Amino acid sequence: MDNTTTTATTLNNTTTTRPPSNPSPSIHFPLNLNHMNQQHDDHVDLRLNSNNDHRHQHRVIDEMDFFADDRTNKDGSHKQQACTDIDHQNMTTPPADHQSTHFNYVNTGLHLLTANTSTTDQSMVDDGSSPATDDTRAKNEIVMLRAEIERVDRENQELKEMLSHVTKSYSTMQVHLMTLMEESQKKDAHAQQQLHVKHRQEDKQQIEVGTSRLVQKQLVVDLGLVPASDIHDQQSLSSSENNEDGRSNSPPTNSEVASRLQMEEEAEITRREISMGMGREEEAVHVSPNKVPRFNPSKTNNADQAEATMRKARVSVRARSEATMITDGCQWRKYGQKMAKGNPCPRAYYRCTMAAGCTVRKQVQRCAEDRTILITTYEGNHNHPLPPAAMAMASTTSSAAHMLLSGSMSSTDGLMNPNFLARTLLPCSSNMATISASAPFPTVTLDLTQDPNAATQPPPNTIQSQFQNPSQNLALLPQLFTQTLYNQSMFSGLQMSQHRDSSLGPKQQGPLADSVTAAAIAADPNFTAVIAAAISSMIGNSHPINNITTNSSNSNGNNSGANIVSSSGIPEN
DNA sequence: CGTTTTTGACCGGCGC
DNA sequence: GCGCCGGTCAAAAACG
């Protein structure tokens, strides 16, 4: 941002009367093209010394950058910028090939002429040339400048083509990514169907054999209530049993095996996502008569640990709000309230009521030290369609779980590097996302409190800093949104790859995966929703998240009133 | 009357 | 083994 500001300032200094129409486009584009390291002098000198090709090129590119991002007027802006100088030099004779496009700038150029012409005039005076010579020189200069303009135009064109190419490539990749995701989803559905059928067949066989315990277990699988670890076990069992079923008569080829494994793996991941936060129902159904713990240490493997980690992974949002809860687009029902140790404010427990089977929960509690800060902790994944606003928040919890599952918990990269998340989330600004390694649950924390001197401190083992002031907080939002949106496809791709890698277990993923995953999480657009939700509550409780994102969720009547909370949901105490 | 909230009881994990 | 604590359950109360 500093670089951008510098550029704007330089231009303003150079062209003092340039219409203040376009400082804003400079905010974005220089981030994409790396010309911001140019000195101020480059801008000034280039403007005055058109015969310095090297420097001039820098100037041209910088100015290109400065306006190129203005997608509504980038073409015209380039030419306007490039032509301003020549217009200064030729006050009444703008180049014919640009005249049509620069009529808006003629007057401006007249005003900007002073500095440049003074220099030129001075040189002319120093030469002591006759008026005729001056005319010739001026004409030569005009010719040179026209040639320069043409060259600049060509460069502009090339750069525009490059930009267009990059944009197209990005769009293509995005489409490709979406296609892959759809295919993946289809595979998941297909794999689930196959597993369902297969398990039913196996159930029948086992019922005949009389293995009632396995029947019970697999019924749980069929109901989709089994934890991923058990699914994994089940799949292993099924895989081994596949050698005995009908299909095993013809040994599958390697590709078939690989394909099947991949499909089952994806199905497992899908189940894992669904089962995350299944909570009591799942346990109630699954617990064997012997009350064998589901995560028996004796048979715990990486997948089990990952599952346990995912189940408990949480996303916590700290935001200043006088409301009982931040609005996140979901319907919640309070099911409990407890006094937590060390905090005079009670902690309220909510569960999602948008679908019968959804067991997503959240805890809401005011900070003990600063009761204007509302701490909302989410756990689990929704298993039902959500309105856009709610979907964003819900995906965040899933994303957090994936991040933590990916090995960040075991890696110090993401946890112990104080600047890691900050660099990832907002490379040019302060930190707001933190990861807590404190037991018992891995937690991703978004701190949206505005007061850096708030008495509230993050729990031990957290990495955290805060926005320096509210204006900065809000001012950074657009950039944050841009950044997160830009990374959306990247994150999705990573998420998919994580799905596949997750079967390897955290230990088998390298530190790069850890870092990248954490980066993806931090850059996830879903975080935007969290931020938006928190910000919306900060800005005013009468402005729900929809004000920031979309009003489309109004259709289900769950926007500002989405969170059905009693007035005493969180006693102010 | 159906839904939601309240609140005491209960359960399981964990530390001593 | 016991007590503490976090989290959940479920009956009663409150609400619309």
A363 touches strand C (CB under 7 A): yes
- pLDDT tens, position by position, A183-221: 776 666 666 566 555 555 544 444 344 333 333 333 333
Give residue numbers, 118 to 147 of A, with CB < 7 Å from strand C.
none
Q: In what order do the strands lie in the sheet with A373-379?
A: A332-339, A346-352, A361-366, A373-379, A314-320, A443-447, A433-436
pLDDT at A157: 86
User: What is the reported pTM?
Assistant: 0.38
- pLDDT tens, position by position, A529-547: 445 444 444 333 333 333 3
Å from the A563 CA to the B3 C1':
14
Binned at pLDDT 50, 70 and 90, residue A336 comes out as very high
Q: Are A491 and A524 in contact (CB under 8 A)?
A: yes
- pLDDT tens, position by position, A18-45: 333 333 333 333 323 333 333 333 333 3
pLDDT at A337: 92
Distance from C-alpha of A4 to C-alpha of A25, rounded to nearest angstrom: 10
Binned at pLDDT 50, 70 and 90, residue A334 comes out as very high
Nucleotides of C under 7 A from a protein CB: 4-10
- Average pLDDT over every residue of A477-490: 33
- pLDDT tens, position by position, A123-180: 333 444 455 677 888 888 888 888 888 888 888 888 888 877 777 777 777 777 777 7
Instruction: Please tell us whether the domain made up of A309-405+422-448 is placed in CATH 2.20.25.80.
Output: yes
Task: Check residues A1 and A528 and name the one with the higher pLDDT.
Answer: A528
- Average pLDDT over every residue of A380-391: 77
Residue closest to B3 C1′ by Cα: A333
Q: Are A518 and A413 in contact (CB under 8 A)?
A: yes
Residue length of chain A: 573
Distance from C-alpha of A535 to C-alpha of A190, rounded to nearest angstrom: 40
Beta-ladder partners of A76: none
Q: Which nucleotide is nearest to A295 (CA to C1')?
A: B13
The answer to which of A169-173, A362-366, A409-413 has the lowest mean pLDDT is A409-413
Angle between helices A388-403 and A525-539 (to 10 degrees): 120
* Residue linked to tokens 């937690």: A443
Task: Give A497-529 as a DSSP string.
Answer: HHHHHHTT-GGGS-HHHHHHHHHHHHH-HHHHH
Binned at pLDDT 50, 70 and 90, residue A454 comes out as very low
pLDDT at A348: 93
AA identity, residue A227:
P
pLDDT at A354: 83
The answer to which of A71-85, A166-180, A477-491 has the lowest mean pLDDT is A477-491
Q: Which nucleotide is nearest to A566 (CA to C1')?
A: B5
Whether residue A368 has pLDDT greater than 80: yes
pLDDT at A364: 92
pLDDT at A139: 87
- Average pLDDT over every residue of A510-520: 34
A557 touches strand B (CB under 7 A): no
- Average pLDDT over every residue of A72-78: 39
The answer to which of A150-164, A370-384, A401-415 has the lowest mean pLDDT is A401-415
Distance from C-alpha of A401 to C-alpha of A443, rounded to nearest angstrom: 9
Q: Are strands A314-320 and A443-447 parallel, antiparallel or unpaired?
A: parallel
pLDDT at A405: 54
Whether residue A14 has pLDDT greater than 70: no
- Nearest Cα to Cα of residue A410 among A495, A290, A507: A507
pLDDT at A420: 40
Q: Is the C-alpha dihedral spanning A261, A507, A488, A537 positive or negative?
A: positive
Å from the A404 CA to the B8 C1':
36
Distance from C-alpha of A446 to C-alpha of A435, rounded to nearest angstrom: 9
* Residue linked to tokens 């000198």: A45
A333 touches strand C (CB under 7 A): no
A336 touches strand C (CB under 7 A): yes
pLDDT at A270: 43
Query: Helix or strand or coil: residue A262?
Result: helix
Task: Give A381-399 as a DSSP string.
Answer: ---S---HHHHHHHHHHHH
Å from the A385 CA to the C15 C1':
29
Highest mean pLDDT among A259-268, A290-299, A362-371: A362-371
Cα A285 from chain centroid?
37
Nucleotides of B under 7 A from a protein CB: 4-9, 13-15
Q: Are A404 and A444 in contact (CB under 8 A)?
A: yes
Binned at pLDDT 50, 70 and 90, residue A247 comes out as very low
pLDDT at A501: 34
Whether residue A394 has pLDDT greater than 50: yes
Task: Check residues A18 and A378 and name the one with the higher pLDDT.
Answer: A378
* SS3 assignment for A47-74: HHCCCCHHHHHHHHHHHHHHHHCCCCCH
The answer to which of A136-140, A390-394, A442-446, A502-506 has the lowest mean pLDDT is A502-506
Mean model confidence pLDDT for chain A: 50
DSSP state of A372: T
Residue closest to B12 C1′ by Cα: A293
- Average pLDDT over every residue of A239-268: 41
A349 touches strand C (CB under 7 A): yes
Task: Check residues A354 and A65 and name the one with the higher pLDDT.
Answer: A354
Query: Helix or strand or coil: residue A205?
Result: helix
Segment holding A443, helix H or strand E: strand A443-447
Q: Both tokens of residue A196?
A: 């369902």
Task: Check residues A317 and A26 and name the one with the higher pLDDT.
Answer: A317
